[in-house]
Structure 1
Amino acid sequence: MIFTRMSSRLLFLRTDRHRQLEEYLAECLEGRAIKLENAMVEASEDSSLVFITPTGLRDTRVEDALSVLHVPYSTSVILMRIINDGRVKLLEKAQLGPGLLMMRIPEEGKSLIDRIKEEYSGSILPLNEGIGHGESEDTLIAFTDRPINRYTDYDHKGMPFLLVNVPVNEMQRNIRRDAVRYITESLTDAEWYEYRINIYDAHGHYMQHLERLMMSFSDLELGFVLGQRWTRDHALVLYSVTAYQVRIFSLLPPQRIKKLLIGLEFDGQGRRFVDMDLYFRSKKVEFSSLDKETKKKGRARVAAEMRDRILAGLSEETRQRFLDIEERM
């Protein structure tokens, strides 16, 4: 489960030859014009957001940008290419903006934003002001409650941006070190959820289903795996079956995890080919404990919907591996 990752670097290029510079970035560096309000959606750790601004400005502001381009290269590569391609004459000045960092927080954990703000004497600002006020040795932190392990559409749901006077590499190390503490302190009930998942397959495909489960938890960032082992599951009184047990630490409540497991219990043809029983605080989480609307749909329909959601959330490579495993069973 990843709590923080780098995002695009911000590069301001001041020029009196706006169109020529924009055309060069588009033709030679695959630059693509975007709107500022879509900047966070386009941002990714292996790219840059380039702001082309006019000359004669005392201070560089986001509002002064003649255009904003998403370029799929680092700022150092962009500047190297400009120099090596003999296009330095297009520039009056180049300036780096603050480092951009993304941090995942729990849905109910917005109080940790205030905690980080207090610890680092930061400022909560709108995106454009954070970019404009920040210097190259500052960090602008964007918050989301969505997984951030790879490029995903950013949805801040009205969350603020936090500007801190700490270089981005140092700030990322600090957050990686303290993320679990921040998140634990921000939770309403001051605890994570610890689960046991018992996998049972009458055909013995335990390791294949384990791999499907692990792929899903890893790619969708559902939690930490604490351990795994063989166990006996007492499905009925005086009757037990062999099961493979996985212990999970997660921020998601039991009902969310239960629905995800239902999605993993069925194959693409709607056939149930494995049981994945969820236990929380030594009690089995039953389908009957889910909300009224979910129960009304029935297990098969819920399984189909959740399976589609799981597959849609996997990376293309992981999704193909996931389907290949099912095909071999």
Structure 2
Amino acid sequence: MLLFRLGPRYLFIRSKNIDEVADYLESSLGGEVTEFWKAWEKSSEYSTICFITDINHEKTYVEDAVKIVLINDVSTVILSSIVNSHMCHLVHRVDMGPAAIIMRIAGNEPALIDKIKEVFSAKEVDWYEGIGLGEKDDTIIAFTDKVLNGPVSDFLEPKLLIPQPVREVQNRLRLEGLKLITQSLNDSQWYELRINIYDSCGKYKENYDRLMYILSKLE
């Protein structure tokens, strides 16, 4: 079971020429002007949601966006494209929002979220609040009980804003995520299962790889 994956990144683009910037993102980068929730429904871990606002803001929030553009590419590609296409004159300022992690949980969900909140010294937020308060070196964790192999838009409340870079959060979840989830299960007892592989042709490694592939797809 895939325990967690990255969500889309967020770019806040301030400009006096909002329509021109949106048109460029659509025509040159395959972007789609949409609404925030529809962008989430279509996004993947390789996507970027761009919030285009005017320049009269000390700090920009989701609610300030005049246009929202979903681009199915990472933020670094978008920024380099703007620079290399000599479109910088249209952009007043660019800010990167917090990273996002989507985590699949099971068992006693409120208790697990509380435990993760404690482990990471996190703050409970909703999406708009988390994106607005978070900075580029912060991470939002959103929880779901759905599979993570495709787009996810059905989330549990609350989300958590963590004052740590996404790489640090990922590393800790890799080490402790499974333990935290199993501790939250109503029946946390483990059972040992032994599987013997027999093959008259001696292709044990090939059969082992097949078995591991199948097990990795189980939910």
> What TM-score, normalized to structure 2?
0.86
Could you tell me which amino acid in structure 2 is paired with residue 177 of structure 1? Answer: L
Question: Which fold has the larger relative contact order, with Cα–Cα distance below 8 Å and residues 6 or more apart in sequence?
Answer: 2
**CA distance 1:105–1:132, shift in 2 (3 Å):** same
| Higher strand proportion | 1
Deviation at 1:7, TM superposition (A): 1.6
- 1:151 aligns to what? 150
Task: Report the residue type matching 1:74 in the other structure.
Answer: V
Shift of 1:183: 0.8
Deviations 1:276-307 (A, max 9, x none): xxxxxxxxxxxxxxxxxxxxxxxxxxxxxxxx
| 1:42 CA drift (Å) | 2.4
Aligned match of 2:5 = 5
For these two proteins, the number of residue pairs brought into alignment is 211
Query: Is the Cα contact below 8 Å between 1:184 and 1:192 reproduced in 2?
Result: no
Q: Superposed, which structure 2 residues align to 1:1-329 within 5 Å?
A: 1-148=1-148, 150-156=149-155, 158-192=156-190, 217-219=215-217, 221-222=218-219
Q: Aligned partners of 1:151, 1:90: CA distance in 2, in Å?
A: 34
> How far off its partner does 1:44 sit?
1.2
| Distance in 2 separating the partners of 1:111 and 1:62 | 30
Cα 1:189–1:28, aligned 2, differ >3 Å: closer, same or farther?
same
- In the TM superposition, what whole-angstrom CA distance separates every residue of 1:34-54 from its partner, at most 9, and x where no partner exists? 211234322311111111111
Name the CA distance, whole Å, in 1 between partners of 2:153 and 2:215. 20
Using the alignment, how far apart are the partners of 1:183 and 1:69 within structure 2? 35
CA distance in 2 between partners of 1:195 and 1:104 (Å): 24
| Structure whose alpha-carbon radius of gyration is higher | 1
Percent identity of equivalent pairs: 37
Deviations 1:225-256 (A, max 9, x none): xxxxxxxxxxxxxxxxxxxxxxxxxxxxxxxx
AA at the equivalent of 1:23: D
Counterpart residue number, 2:204:
none
Q: Which structure 2 residue ranges, 5 or more long, are not aligned?
A: 197-207
Cα offset for 1:217?
4.3
- The SS at the match of 1:110 is helix
**Quick one: which amino acid aligns to residue 59 of structure 1?**
K
Task: String of CA shifts for 1:182-205, please: whole Å, max 9, x gaps.
Answer: 11221122235666799xxxxxxx
Structure-2 separation of matches of 1:139 and 1:211: 35
TM-score of the aligned structures, taking structure 1 as reference length: 0.59
Per-residue CA distance 1:11-68 (angstroms, 9 max, x = gap) = 1101110100000000000101221123432231111111111111122111001111
Q: Name the aligned partner's letter for residue 142 of structure 2.
A: A
CA offset at residue 152 of structure 1?
3.0
- Aligned partners of 1:47 and 1:74 also within 8 Å: yes
